[in-house]
């Protein structure tokens, strides 16, 4: 890592000042870790729940005596100049005070659009934790930030941000990224003696006739083993829409595309990843090269897991270089033609200060330099939905899939997080993609407006 060298070379020695919007689990970790980084201060939190912001500061060892509640600029500035930590219920207050970076961590699509857009208009960098907004309008926000001379970036610590960095690193070395993806936090723990597989609180008993499918996959048997595991473990909870949203952001930043809209979602050991997630001609299950994917780690109780981390399956043209890849620590497939590089952790807000400092001190993102609307996260009903139903991005009656990006008009599918808080204009049958014409558009939504601007700017629709 060379970040500390780059940061230390700068003549400007004052600490970077950032403001946080949304002090949930992730935002709190940003606050607590910043206390141990001399180059970073986060003297203000905006949250509609002031008590949540207060608890975030408490977790960072800041007492009530050092906290000030303020909802106007002059009071907030005086408190900060006096060394106080400010809590406000008004996120727009952050746009008018002397901070360098706005950290958006609300997880609310419309709010994220308003906060990021205002920050850019006010000449502030944006560290975008809010993947719900990023999955819908990340490309246009990045374009607007570039035009304004500020940084818009996903963040280290979140899986999509880390995956983007890993893909860009591998490509910088000249490696071909056959597949890039993340591991679910949930892992399948196999007990061969008890013949059970547990995933969180759920456990499945394995019949003796099924146990073969949980052995290591032999060369040439990937499709059969993956299909059998999918059937045996079908009762376990599915991959979340949130997981798919992160991979949408990563796909738009890297150009990696889904091999199939719902993804393959294999249950695999770490050592099986290069065997399974490579092209069919190499013994894998992929029909195309350069894909995005999500895996569930299969392991025994005393095996190392993936920790919700990220990975790339790589190959290279040169035989000698490939020999180095497959003999110096990486796990190859059985043919020695691919190898997996993985990072078995993601440290959420603990890692995010690097992205904040890079934006403010180096004027560069830790994500990609360009973001294109390659794909959208779209919504499909999994039950009958009645006219007037209020939709949400995290409800159980909607499943998500990653499809090539469409203009948000007519009978094209709508991005999942454009639906949040809006009503259906008609009944929707089960297993139906939800389209623009099925939803009553909001009368005043910056999120929808920016998405139309994105469609026009990137040529999805004519201006």
Task: Give pLDDT tens digits for 102-113.
Answer: 999 999 999 999
Residue 145 lies in a domain: yes
Mean pLDDT of 175-189: 97
383 and 336 share a domain? no
| pLDDT band at 451; cut points 50, 70, 90 | very high
CA distance linking residue 287 with residue 314, whole number of Å: 16
Residue 328 above 80 pLDDT?
yes
Task: Please report which confidence band the pLDDT of residue 407 belongs to, taking 50, 70 and 90 as the band edges.
Answer: very high
Judgement on whether residues 177 and 309 belong to the same structural domain of the protein: yes
pLDDT for 238 = 87
Q: Say what the pLDDT of residue 12 is.
A: 61
Same structural domain, 329 and 209 = yes
Q: Are 120 and 352 in contact (CB under 8 A)?
A: no
Q: At which of 337, 362, 387 does a domain end?
A: 362
Condensed to tens digits (0 to 9), the pLDDT of residues 247-272 reads 999 999 999 999 998 899 999 999 99
Please report, to the nearest 10 degrees, the dihedral formed by the alpha carbons of residues 380, 385, 386, 392 taken in order: -70
Are 231 and 280 found together in one domain? yes
**pLDDT band at 392, cuts 50/70/90?**
confident
Do 151 and 167 belong to one domain? no
* 144-147 long-range Cβ contacts below 8 angstroms, 24+ apart: 144/117, 144/120, 145/120
For residue 330, the enclosing domain spans: 161-346
Q: What is the pTM of this model?
A: 0.96
For the cut 90, the answer to whether the pLDDT of residue 114 exceeds it is yes
Strand segments, DSSP code E, in 300-337 are 310-315, 331-332
Verify that 355 and 337 share a domain, yes or no: no
Q: Do 356 and 33 form a contact (C-beta atoms < 8 A)?
A: no
463 is a domain residue? no
When divided into structural domains, the chain yields a total of: 3
Do 269 and 336 fall within a single domain?
yes
The phi, psi pair for 168, rounded to 5°, reads -65, -40
In degrees, rounded to 5, the angle at the alpha carbon of residue 150 between the alpha carbons of residues 149 and 151 is: 135
Q: How far is CA 295 from CA 233, 237, 274, 338, in A?
A: 13, 13, 12, 17
**Whether the predicted pLDDT of 9 surpasses 90:** no
How much is the pLDDT for 397?
A: 85
Q: Same structural domain for residues 437 and 316?
A: no
Count how many residues are written for the chain: 463
Q: What is the pLDDT of residue 462?
A: 54
Give the domain CATH number at 62. 3.40.50.720
Q: What is the pLDDT of residue 463?
A: 45
The CA distances from residue 91 to 134, 137, 201, 444, in Å, are 18, 20, 38, 19
Is pLDDT at 304 greater than 80 in this prediction? yes
Mode of pairing for the β-strands spanning 202-205 and 196-199: antiparallel
Same domain assignment for residues 9 and 145? yes
- For 308, 387, 399, the CA distances from 237, given in Å and listed in that order, are 16, 28, 12
């Amino acid at each position: 890592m060379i970040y500390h060298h780059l940061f230390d070379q700068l003549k400007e020695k004052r600490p970077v000042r950032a403001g946080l919007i949304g002090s949930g689990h992730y935002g709190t970790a940003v606050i607590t870790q910043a206390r141990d980084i001399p180059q970073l201060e986060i003297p203000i939190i905006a949250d509609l729940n002031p008590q949540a912001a207060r608890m975030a500061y408490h977790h960072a060892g800041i007492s009530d005596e050092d906290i000030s509640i303020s909802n106007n600029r002059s009071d907030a500035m005086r408190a900060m100049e006096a060394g106080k930590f400010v809590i406000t219920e008004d996120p727009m207050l952050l746009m008018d005070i002397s901070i360098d970076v706005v950290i958006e961590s609300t997880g609310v699509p419309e709010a994220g659009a308003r906060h990021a857009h205002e920050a850019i208009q006010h000449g502030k960098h944006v560290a975008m934790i809010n993947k719900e907004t990023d999955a819908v309008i990340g490309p246009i926000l990045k374009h607007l930030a570039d035009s304004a001379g500020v940084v818009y970036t996903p963040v280290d610590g979140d899986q999509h941000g880390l995956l983007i960095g890993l893909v860009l690193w591998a490509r910088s070395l000249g490696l071909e990224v056959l597949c890039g993806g993340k591991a679910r936090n949930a892992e399948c723990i196999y007990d061969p003696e008890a013949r059970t597989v547990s995933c969180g609180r759920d456990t499945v008993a394995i019949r003796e006739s099924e146990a073969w499918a949980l052995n290591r996959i032999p060369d040439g048997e990937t499709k059969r083993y993956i299909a059998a595991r999918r059937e045996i473990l079908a009762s376990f909870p599915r991959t979340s829409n949130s997981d798919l949203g992160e991979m949408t952001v990563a796909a738009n930043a890297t150009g990696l595309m889904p091999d199939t809209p719902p993804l393959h979602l294999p249950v695999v050991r770490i050592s099986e990843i290069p065997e399974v997630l490579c092209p069919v001609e190499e013994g894998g299950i992929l029909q195309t090269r350069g894909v995005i994917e999500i895996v569930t780690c299969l392991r025994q109780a005393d095996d190392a897991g993936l920790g919700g981390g990220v990975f790339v399956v790589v190959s290279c043209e040169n035989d000698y270089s490939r020999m180095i890849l497959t003999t110096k620590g990486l796990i190859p497939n059985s043919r020695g033609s691919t190898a997996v590089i993985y990072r078995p952790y993601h440290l959420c807000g603990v890692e995010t200060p690097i992205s904040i400092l890079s934006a403010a001190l180096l004027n560069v993102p830790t994500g990609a330099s360009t973001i294109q609307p390659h794909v959208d996260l779209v919504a499909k009903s999994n039950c009958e939905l009645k006219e007037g139903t209020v939709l949400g991005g995290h409800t159980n009656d909607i499943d998500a899939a990653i499809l090539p990006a469409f203009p948000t008009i007519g009978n094209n599918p709508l991005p999942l997080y454009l639906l949040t808080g809006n009503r259906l204009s008609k009944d929707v049958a089960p297993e139906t993609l939800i389209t623009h014409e099925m939803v009553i558009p909001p009368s005043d939504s910056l999120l929808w407006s920016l998405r139309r601007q994105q469609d026009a700017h990137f040529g999805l629709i004519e201006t």
